[in-house]
Structure 1
Amino acid sequence: MRIHDVDAVRGFALLGIFAVNVTFMASGYPGNLVHDPTFDSSLDDAVRTLSSVFVDMKFYVLFSFLFGYSFTLQMDAARRAGAEFRPRMLRRIAGLFALGVLHIVVLYGGDILTTYAVACLALLLLRNVTDRTALRIAVGLYVVVLLSLISSGLFVDGSTFLPGESEALANGADATRALLGDWGPNIGEHLAGLPLLLLQSATLQGPTALGMFLLGMVAGRRRWLAPETNSHPVLRRIQLVGFPVGIAGGVLYALGGNGAPLCVAASVATAPLLAAAYVATLLRARPVVRRVLAPAGRMALTNYLAQSAVGLIVFTGIGFGFAGRFSPLALMVFALAVFTAQLAVSALWLRRFRYGPVEWGLRWLTNGTRPAFVAAGEMSVPERQSDRR
């Protein structure tokens, strides 16, 4: 059965994902680990710092956790349908990977779908392990990532393989000019970033995603996000621990300029706690808040790709060519405006249709049968929210 609060948390995560991604869509400087010198005021620095503390690296782990949680719902759906789970999930993984490749080439080079697809192959192999084993593997993956970051921070001189500031600034200016070009320069820029994307996926995003997948799988088995298992005292304790520890890690991350390995390690270690505190806060919020967010979460894949399409149209020369013209504050306002529009469009769409367009296609591929697309007119909103996956 559909869990309304899972959709709400996923919708909330979409906002954080876009708030991070849009900085890379709008300028070539962040991808080169430097700030655009055009925006160097105290306000610009304050916005960047707040993003580093409260947003960067937090919503990625939350999205990964929800992927693992939804994995258990997919298993339940296959069981109810009397279908074998493994071939269904392999088809779904193939579909995610294909979408990710198209996403990288056409829309945005910072894709996560391909990484998720590969990590999900490992999750598929581990689907029958006990909860204790899953948690041990998740912790082990995080320990390996943290040790590698700490080791590189202590024993590796980054200046030997990273460009100096002047070179990085020049590269950022070149990348911004490429964004202002047509399809050729933009696709070229996407493909040029593949080596870094692969390196990040192999050393950081892939292992941490799998770790959060496993934690989400355990949470899904135990229905931690189901209404009947949400305990306000437990949620309060999560907030009391998650906020101070997570914010402290975010501050260290910001102080390191977002690139120092030791500071990245601090963020990697504490981001799950801050993400958990965000979830606890959302689950304790008024039900109307979750109802507003849930439609966007039900169409998360469609909305994720739509965010990249909006970024392509607004910032590149293919569309309006606004790359390099938005300050950090303007980007945050822009991200919030786009997400607000997605909330409204998602709610309107789901009054008429059972799934988002991309979700419908992926469901067709996963199950091997064409699902109904138009929602039955006699179904109430609560009934639609509890549809089986």
Structure 2
Amino acid sequence: MMKENKIIPTPSQRMTVIDALRGFALLGVILMHMLDHFGYLFSNVQHQLSPTMWDTVIQWFTDRMIKGKFISIFSFLFGLSFYIQMDRASKKGIDFRGRFLWRMALLFVIGLIGMCFTYVDILTIYAVFGVVLVFLFPLRNWVLMLIVSLLLVGVPSLFLIGFDNIVIGQPAITAISVVSEQLPADNTIESVTFFQTAKENLTIKNSNKLKYQFLYSDVGYLVLALFIFGFIVGRLRFFEQVNIRKKRNVRLFLLFLLATFALLVIIKLIGPQEHVDLLKVRMEGGEVPLIALVMSALNNLSTVSMSGMWAMGFISLYQVEGVRKYLDILTPYGRMGLTNYEIQNVIGAILFSGWGFGSVFGTKGAAVLFVLGLLIYALQVIISQYWVKRFLYGPLEWLWRSGTYLKWQPFKKKQNREKSTVVVE
């Protein structure tokens, strides 16, 4: 009996979900950064009026559902991209590790330029973690998962705090704060020119950011854990089967949903009276109750779990034929993820900096900034749609790729090129 003809999507077609997911992650990134004013806090900007009901609702939603979750997905996808690049090179008999190290050096430079606009730019840290991935590349999956687990439960904190400073008993400092992705407010130097701002971002603010992420909180180690986990998922070839394992996708979504709910219940049952301001303790020193470290680990796990819930929910919807055509509008945006991420930062600097319109937008409430973030994102999506029809890469992607191979890469698409599919009898 003759088999029915069917069209099998090529690997590049199957992997469009990764680009779409990256585009989705960048939606959460811009919304989070908008409400955080892209890190700009100036004493010459008047305080906004009392927040409205919508401001309160938006702020609550952002803090609980977005902050830390979408940047986690973005970080995970970077580790996944590392595996994809190494795997493709390996299939061609090429050891890509040396080239990747050079690629990370270029990314570091791009990150430094981006940091001139806003110190919340994370690409320099990504570049360093990319180098770490190269050295972790030979390790087996179980070893990598062990490293991920140790990072997630806060083992680095134990050494930074010091075992002698960890006590069993009631907190020495009572508070109800949980370390989040947001950086602590510092005494911002009023910078009225771009060059003054760039100098401050690259020095004072960058130093504070690094201290916060690696000394005073677990944020940096959480990002590294997600990098490594993305690499592991790539090794397991999860995304190569994502279009045919639809039930598995839904089951994983439900698993992450259940895990998130369970973790939040446990955190709630422990109670806010058991929280401790770890950020303050780690900055000032002092004894840290063991329960506070447990709470910190639980919050890290809940962040990762909710990130997985968002990601698998998106992936599951992407596999629904009627929904995919709408979510696919994010694919060009994600394909130009580097360019769009840096454009977000440039726009944010223009809106909130002292040399930009910080005196205007710095006083706006959460609701206004949330809507403005959606509008900027929508405009970027439209521009990305038109761009990928004419060009093979985004501007920064093209420069990064050309620099990687030390040769100008093709940029413009050839006209009338038909999409390729594989037909199997």
Normalised by the size of structure 1, how large is the TM-score?
A: 0.82
Q: Is the 8 A contact 1:5 1:227 kept in 2?
A: no
Q: Is the 8 A contact 2:153 2:298 kept in 1?
A: no
**Which of residues 255, 260, 273 in structure 1 aligns to 2:305?**
273
| CA gap 1:355/1:146 in 2 versus in 1, 3 angstroms | same
**In 1, Cα distance between the equivalents of 2:373 and 2:110?**
23
Q: Is the 8 A contact 1:316 1:323 kept in 2?
A: no
Q: Where does residue 240 of structure 2 map in the other structure?
A: 226
| CA gap 1:372/1:26 in 2 versus in 1, 3 angstroms | closer
**In 2, Cα distance between the equivalents of 1:156 and 1:369?**
59
**In 2, Cα distance between the equivalents of 1:194 and 1:109?**
6
Structure with greater proportional helix content? 1
- Cα displacement (A) at 1:39: 4.2
Structure 1: 5+ residue runs without aligned partners? 160-167
**In 1, Cα distance between the equivalents of 2:42 and 2:88?**
41
Q: Where does residue 182 of structure 1 map in the other structure?
A: 193
Q: Where does residue 290 of structure 1 map in the other structure?
A: 327
**Which of residues 57, 63, 72 in structure 2 aligns to 1:61?**
72
Are residues 1:8 and 2:20 paired?
yes
Letter in 2 for 1:52: D
- Cα displacement (A) at 1:155: 5.8
Letter in 2 for 1:235: N
**In 2, Cα distance between the equivalents of 1:109 and 1:259?**
27
| CA gap 1:36/1:125 in 2 versus in 1, 3 angstroms | farther
C-alpha deviations, 1:338-361, integer Å up to 9, x for none? 111111111110101000010111
**Which of residues 131, 141, 161 in structure 1 aligns to 2:141?**
131
C-alpha deviations, 1:285-313, integer Å up to 9, x for none? 22113311110110000000000111122
**In 1, Cα distance between the equivalents of 2:351 and 2:225?**
35
SS of residue paired to 2:113: helix
Are residues 1:121 and 2:131 paired?
yes
- Cα displacement (A) at 1:192: 2.5
Q: Is the 8 A contact 1:57 1:267 kept in 2?
A: no
SS of residue paired to 1:107: coil
Give the alignment of 1:257-336 within 5 angstroms: 260-261=277-278, 262=292, 265-285=297-317, 286-321=323-358, 322-336=360-374
Letter in 1 for 2:312: A
- Cα displacement (A) at 1:365: 1.9
Q: Where does residue 162 of structure 1 map in the other structure?
A: none
The aligned length equals 365
C-alpha deviations, 1:95-149, integer Å up to 9, x for none? 1111111211x21111211111111111110112112111111111112358659
**In 1, Cα distance between the equivalents of 2:327 and 2:377?**
15
Q: Where does residue 154 of structure 2 map in the other structure?
A: 144
**In 1, Cα distance between the equivalents of 2:75 and 2:125?**
11
**In 2, Cα distance between the equivalents of 1:287 and 1:152?**
52
Are residues 1:202 and 2:214 paired?
yes
Q: Where does residue 111 of structure 1 map in the other structure?
A: 121
**In 1, Cα distance between the equivalents of 2:245 and 2:301?**
25
Q: Where does residue 77 of structure 1 map in the other structure?
A: 88
Percent identical: 27
Q: Where does residue 7 of structure 2 map in the other structure?
A: none
Q: Is the 8 A contact 1:178 1:189 kept in 2?
A: no
RMSD, matched Cα: 3.4
Letter in 2 for 1:294: T
Structure 2: 5+ residue runs without aligned partners? 1-10, 176-183, 279-291, 318-322
Stretch deviating more after TM superposition (330-339 or 187-196): 187-196
| CA gap 1:250/1:352 in 2 versus in 1, 3 angstroms | farther
Normalised by the size of structure 2, how large is the TM-score?
A: 0.76
**Which of residues 97, 103, 122 in structure 1 aligns to 2:108?**
97
Q: Where does residue 163 of structure 1 map in the other structure?
A: none
Are residues 1:361 and 2:399 paired?
yes
Letter in 2 for 1:123: L
**In 2, Cα distance between the equivalents of 1:212 and 1:308?**
22
| CA gap 1:8/1:118 in 2 versus in 1, 3 angstroms | same
Are residues 1:373 and 2:387 paired?
no
| CA gap 1:187/1:249 in 2 versus in 1, 3 angstroms | farther
Are residues 1:215 and 2:229 paired?
yes
Q: Is the 8 A contact 1:23 1:30 kept in 2?
A: no
Letter in 1 for 2:148: A
| CA gap 1:248/1:29 in 2 versus in 1, 3 angstroms | farther
| CA gap 1:26/1:138 in 2 versus in 1, 3 angstroms | closer
